[in-house]
Homo-oligomer: A and B are copies of this chain.
Amino acid sequence: MGIMDKFEENREIKKDEKYMKMALKEAQKAADINEVPIGCVIVRNDKVIAKAYNKRNTEKNVLAHAELLAIKQACKKTGDWRLEDCTMYITLEPCQMCSGAMVQARLKRAVIGAMNKKAGCAGSVLNILQMQEFNHQVDVTRGVLETECSEVISKFFADLRESDKQ
């Protein structure tokens, strides 16, 4: 790899980390209202067009996962149900519903923080984002700010267990 390729690669990593930090801020907003802290940001042409955090309990709506709330915003912003030139940053590997929505929206790329071994559908239980049987596949980058993304979730559940004890 030449020095310019190395430079370019480093620039892309820094960019991914920048947007993942924004997704982490969203996750923190969820934690602040006692929701499982998952945050999401959608970027198009280097501009943030949507950001959201999990509100399933607050809104009493199963569709209020961070990813679906962000997809809805992004469709509104672009005036199109297709998000073909968009990248989604998510702190946690998406579930079967959200992975499905990402394929349906023909999202270009997904950048994932922590994996969700028991329920994730971007490589753990299934890899819905990249099944050849469907009419679209999403490019996937995993493990961006993985430690921070894992910690925000494990801290939330540790705090929950602690408050349950009291």
Residue positions of A touching B, CB distance < 8 A: 56-57, 59-65, 68, 71-72, 75-76, 79-83, 95-101, 103-105, 119, 121, 125-126, 128, 131, 133-135
Contacts and interface: CB of A to CB of B under 8 A. Distances in A.
A104 B95 CA distance: 9
A121 B10 CA distance: 39
Contact of A100 (B72, B97, B131): B97
Contact of A71 (B63, B72, B101, B134): B63
How many copies of the shown chain assemble into the complex? 2
A100 B128 CA distance: 11
24 contacts: A60-B79, A60-B80, A60-B81, A61-B76, A62-B71, A62-B81, A62-B83, A62-B101, A62-B105, A63-B72, A63-B75, A63-B101, A64-B81, A95-B104, A96-B96, A96-B100, A96-B128, A96-B134, A97-B100, A100-B100, A119-B134, A119-B135, A126-B126, A126-B131
A53 to B, nearest CB: 15
Given A125-B134, A134-B125, A75 B100 contact: no
A105 to B, nearest CB: 4
A83 B61 CA distance: 10
A135 B96 CA distance: 12
A128 B95 CA distance: 11
A3 to B, nearest CB: 42
